[in-house]
């Protein structure tokens, strides 16, 4: 069903979401233009909605230039590139697709954790390079029964915790507020890092959490500790992390996200043997991509048609006037 509403698509989406928006709305793609700013200005009074992917900046200035803008729909969970405060002041809803990728991200957290404990990547290279013919692979570390710390006990944090229970780990967490969960709460991140064997980062990005995991936290985690980051690269002080990995301040790290994405070709992390790196693909499954595309489009459709089906869990700034 197509409705006569105008959607500005600012990010190069996967084909399936672009097609879905094209079939449902009148779409205008700024990323295809030589001069996106001029293109947007020419449409300023026509745009009802913005569709965007994490990392694409939706600034205060842009929101002010679109007088008829009603909703900014994020494809995915992260919305730290959107000026939510200005959107709220301008009576513009901001939505995301929070629950559709819980399983995929949690699966990745567990996979990264097991791989860094068991040195899976190095073991694979050891075999392919035919080193097994000459020597034994170094011993790895046991994960089951360890202390597992989660930084951020939101939807994904809870999904990760449920999976980690299967490994008989003691699960602990730190967040801004204590949650209604059975796991041990630490009000100070330093104390959590010092207590656990693994620190798994799954807290939102943005200025509030920038470099929350710094050299002090890494020191507390210690030489037997592992760091897993599936949140945002900005949450960790990457220079401090590289120093910690190079100097055995921590044992190892599994990273799906980086401060700059993609990292530069000769990034120092690439030369470290005690890391496992993936290209921010924790949610990139065929199933998840399809669900995110559908839900992102539905957020716009349901809001613009004033449908009662709009999922309030997907609205970031619920406190604005509708």
- As given in the structure block, the two tokens for residue 37 are 């700013």
Q: Spell out the residues 6+ positions from residue 31 whose beta carbon is closer than 8 angstroms to its own.
A: 9, 10, 11, 12
User: Other C-beta atoms within 10 Å of 189: how many?
Assistant: 20
Nearest C-alpha neighbor of 52 from the set 84, 21, 74: 74
155 CB-contact burial (10 Å; exposed 0-12 / middle 13-18 / buried 19+): middle
What is the gyration radius of the CA atoms in the chain, in angstroms?
A: 22
Helices and strands (H, E) in the chain, number of each type: 11, 12
- As given in the structure block, the two tokens for residue 256 are 């799906």
- Provide, for the chain, the percentages of residues in helix, strand and coil under a 3-state DSSP scheme, each rounded to the nearest 5: 40, 15, 45
Q: Which residues belong to the active site?
A: 232, 261, 280
């Amino acid at each position: 069903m197509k409705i006569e509403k105008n959607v500005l698509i600012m990010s190069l989406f996967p084909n399936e979401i672009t097609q879905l928006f094209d079939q449902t709305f009148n779409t205008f793609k700024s990323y295809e233009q030589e001069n996106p700013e001029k293109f947007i200005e020419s449409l300023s009074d026509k745009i009802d909605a913005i569709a965007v992917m994490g990392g694409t900046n939706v600034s205060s200035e842009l929101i002010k230039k679109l007088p008829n803008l009603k909703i900014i729909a994020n494809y995915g969970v992260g919305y730290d590139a959107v000026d939510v405060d200005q959107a709220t002041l301008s009576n513009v809803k901001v939505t995301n697709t929070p629950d559709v990728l819980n399983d995929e991200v949690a699966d990745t957290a567990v996979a990264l954790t097991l791989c860094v404990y068991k040195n899976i990547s190095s073991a694979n290279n050891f075999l392919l390079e035919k080193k097994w013919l000459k020597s034994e692979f170094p011993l790895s570390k046991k994960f089951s029964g360890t202390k597992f710390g989660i930084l951020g006990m939101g939807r994904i944090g809870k999904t990760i915790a449920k999976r980690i229970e299967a490994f008989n780990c003691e699960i602990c967490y730190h967040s801004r507020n204590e949650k209604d969960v059975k796991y041990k709460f630490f009000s100070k991140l330093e104390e959590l890092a010092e207590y656990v064997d693994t620190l798994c980062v799954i807290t939102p990005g943005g200025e509030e959490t920038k470099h929350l995991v710094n050299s002090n936290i890494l020191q507390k985690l210690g030489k037997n500790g592992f760091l897993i980051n599936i949140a945002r690269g900005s949450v960790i002080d990457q220079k401090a992390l590289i120093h910690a990995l190079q100097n055995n301040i921590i044992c190892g790290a599994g990273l799906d996200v980086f401060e700059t994405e993609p990292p530069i070709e000769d990034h120092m992390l690439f030369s470290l043997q005690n890391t496992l790196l993936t290209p921010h693909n924790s949610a990139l499954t065929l199933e998840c991509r399809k669900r995110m595309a559908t839900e992102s489009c539905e957020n716009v459709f349901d809001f613009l048609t004033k449908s009662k089906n709009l999922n309030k869990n997907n609205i970031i700034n619920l406190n604005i006037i509708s």
